[in-house]
Structure 1
Amino acid sequence: MTDVDNTLRATMTSIEGAIGAALVDYNSGMALGTVDGPGGLDLSVAAAGNTDVVRAKMRTMEMLGLKDGIEDILITLTNQYHLIRPLTSRSGKGLFLYLALDKGRANLAMARHQLARIEADLEV
């Protein structure tokens, strides 16, 4: 198991094309940790904005009566992928991992696989 800072650093170095990563509390919208890479994303703004995405999806699922959990949410931009992965462990309840990727350098399938593995090793 790894702590937040080490996890985010490992995310940036182990996932090809990573340009920013954060651990976010979606109840408050605050980033609990961030690691910026090339691309200069304002991860505090990204954390707050993506909190709205997670909340909206959870509300929609509730209104639809879906009992499923969110594995991840993908937002595809012209030049970037943004992955949002809510944590499923009891200690991670209310948190999500956020990862921004350079679309030209990233392998999306591999990034999703690695982010799932990173989540499993994270100790909050």
Structure 2
Amino acid sequence: MAGVEVSLKEMMAGIEGSMAAAVVDYTSGMALGTLGGDKDLDVTVAAAGNTDVIRAKLRTMEQLGLKARIEDILITLERQYHLIRPVAGRNGNGLFLYLVLDKARSNLAMARHQLKRVEEHLEV
């Protein structure tokens, strides 16, 4: 099992094209940890903003009566992919992994696969 800091390092070093990573509590909007980013990408602000994305999707699923679990949410920008992956299991209730990828340097399928692996080993 890996803690928040180790998980963030795995996301940044182990996923090609990673620009920023965060572990976020979507009930409060607070990031438990962040890594990466720059002057044009404030990871803490992005993580907090994406809590609204998770909440809206969960609310919509509830209204539709969908019982499925969200595996991930992909937001595609001109030069970036933003991946949001809710953490499953008893340790992850209310948490999600957030990863920003450089679109030109990343393999989206591999990134999704590796992010799933990080999620499975996360211990909070």
Using the size of structure 2 for normalisation, the TM-score is: 0.97
Amino acid at match of 2:21: A
User: What is the CA deviation profile of residues 60-95 of structure 1, one whole-angstrom value per residue up to 9, with x for unaligned ones?
Assistant: 000111000100000000000000000001011000
- Conserved 8 A contact 2:8-2:22: yes
Residue aligned with 1:66, SS: coil
Residues 15-30 of structure 1 aligned to structure 2 (within 5 Å): 15-30=15-30
- Could you list the per-position Cα deviations for residues 26-83 of structure 1 after superposition, in whole angstroms to 9, with x for gaps in the alignment? 0000100000156752011111110000000000000111000100000000000000
Question: Could you tell me how far apart the structure 2 residues matched to 1:105 and 1:47 are?
Answer: 22
User: For 2:18 and 2:43, how far apart are their aligned partners in 1?
Assistant: 13
Matches within 5 A, 1:44-63: 44-63=44-63
CA deviations over 1:77-120 (Å, ceiling 9, x no partner): 00000000000010110000000000000000000000000111
How many residues of Structure 1 are paired with residues of Structure 2 in the alignment? 124
Letter paired with 2:93: K
TM-score by length of 1: 0.97
Structure 1 residues 100, 59: closer, same or farther in 2, change over 3 A?
Answer: same
Amino acid at match of 2:11: T
Aligned AA (2:118): I
